Amino acid sequence: EVQLVESGGGSVQAGGSLRLSCTASGFTFDDSEVNWYRQAPGNECELVSSISSDGTTYYKYSVKGRFTISQDSAKNTVYLQMSSLKPEDTAKYYCAAYPAYSDRSYGRRCDVLFDYWGQGTQVTVSS
């Protein structure tokens, strides 16, 4: 069964840390670009970070130096380590995978649903 599940969100105070997980089953992340998106109520969907199949990473400017994306191939999981969290990081976080070997996409880009999408994970940062 193919699944893509986000987890690890929660409520923290400003300055705290969380580690989000995007875990896949039924397909591999090894030849995929994996993106983390977020959306707060009333706001546009944002690309927060991505990791490509060759390990190249991207970070939205406002999270550079605070967030780290990584991949554990053995666990077929992509992590988003978030540190020095700010209230403006409060949002629902989603992941999506774009395999290089297929024209299918998995997960979701906020309200845009691909195949086998998860529910996202809520991050709430209080001041």
Task: Give backbone dihedrals phi and psi of 39, rounded to 5 degrees, phi first.
Answer: -150, 125
Structural tokens at position 27 = 């397909």
Tell whether the model's pLDDT for residue 1 goes beyond 90. Answer: no
How many of the other CB atoms lie within 10 Å of CB of 74? 6
The three-point CA angle 77-37-33 to 5° equals: 50
The pLDDT of residue 101 is: 84
pLDDT tens digits, 55-97: 999 999 999 999 999 999 999 999 999 999 999 999 999 999 9
pLDDT exceeding 70 applies to what percent of the chain? 100
pLDDT of residue 3: 87
**pLDDT score at 70:** 97
Residues 23-53: tens digit of each pLDDT? 998 888 888 999 999 999 999 999 999 999 9
Cβ 48 vs Cβ 18: under 8 Å: no
